[in-house]
Structure 1
């Protein structure tokens, strides 16, 4: 099954299905651990202005099949050498087809073209599918895996795009304590 990748903005109407579905997914997954998970999810998705996801420092893509948005993702500048992945998503009806991995690959390629050498991201403790995707895509967990994920709340991962086997180039991104431990 074919799809097409479109470089766009989170403000475009074609991005609405991605943003709406992410908000619903975050609210649903975290309903037991966040008092007002719907408001929290909306706040998270509105936290960054759309301009941060535009070239030359960012990117926002959608994956479309037969005119429908089935996936997408974004990145923004984290530091001078590092892009931060955000909003990686695949429609529930299209999961387990390798589409999220393709979105990550597209984000990495754009980050390299835009001069970044590393990628950083965080994902939630209730998103084991995402952990698997990132580990399978060569990302290094930057947190103490012997501690229960819910203690960390946010699970950081990173990858050196120029030398994916190198982990020492990621040390400055490593969590010094569980993220969210002092919330």
Structure 2
């Protein structure tokens, strides 16, 4: 599948469309959307980045971003880059888009001086857990909004 990865803003209409779809998927899996506070400014370079993947007909089929995090009461450590809103539309799954997008997020976070990529997923997303494990992620201390939730899975990977 030939695709194009574009840098965009989190509040771009295509990004919001995919964000709405991922939120619907969270509702199906967990009963509620992700309540983590997010703002387009969190993904503004050089402190973050948001990417969209477009297929050959210009349809957005995947999204994901990272935002800089440093030591905080929420459990982050200095130099973290937090992955948010990794999502591939159902009809485009199984084509390696998530892996390709994740690699681009890691590369850009490392280039921005971030030392560790972290993410939070959940036990009801086993395919995401498999992707992250096969990409070198391992469990880390829980962080973020859902750090005390029993279904939360937090993972990290050094970027050096």
TM-score range, shorter chain: 0.7 to 0.9
Per the TM alignment, residue 124 of structure 1 is displaced from its structure 2 partner at its CA by: 1.4
**Normalization by structure 1: what TM-score?**
0.75
Larger radius of gyration: 1
Residue in structure 1 matched with residue 60 of structure 2 by the alignment: 69
Q: Does 1:135 align with 2:125?
A: no
1:24 aligned to 2:14? Answer: no
Q: Which has the higher strand share?
A: 2
Q: TM-score when scaled to structure 2? A: 0.86
Native 8 Å contact 1:78 1:120 kept in 2: no
When the two structures are aligned, how many residues end up with a matched partner?
146
RMSD: 1.6
Alignment check: 8 A CA contact 1:143 1:155 kept:
no
Structure 1 residue runs of 5 or longer lacking an equivalent are: 32-36, 145-150, 163-183
Aligned to 1:152, the other structure's residue is in SS state: coil
Quote the Cα distance in structure 2 between the aligned partners of 1:122 and 1:42: 11
Alpha-carbon deviation of 1:143? 6.1
Distance 1:141-1:49 versus aligned 2 partners, 3 A rule: same
Query: Does the 8 A contact of 1:124 with 1:155 survive in 2?
Result: yes
Q: Say whether the 8 Å CA contact 2:122–2:152 is kept in structure 1.
A: yes
Output the CA distance in 2 between the equivalents of 1:157 and 1:42: 17
Q: Larger helix proportion, structure 1 or 2?
A: 1
Aligned to 2:111: 113
Structure with bigger RCO (C-alpha 8 Å, 6+ apart): 2
> Contact between 2:10 and 2:39, CA under 8 Å: does it hold in 1?
no
The unaligned stretches of length 5 or more in structure 2 are 71-77, 143-148
Match of 1:103 in 2: 101
Q: Does 1:59 pair with 2:49? A: yes
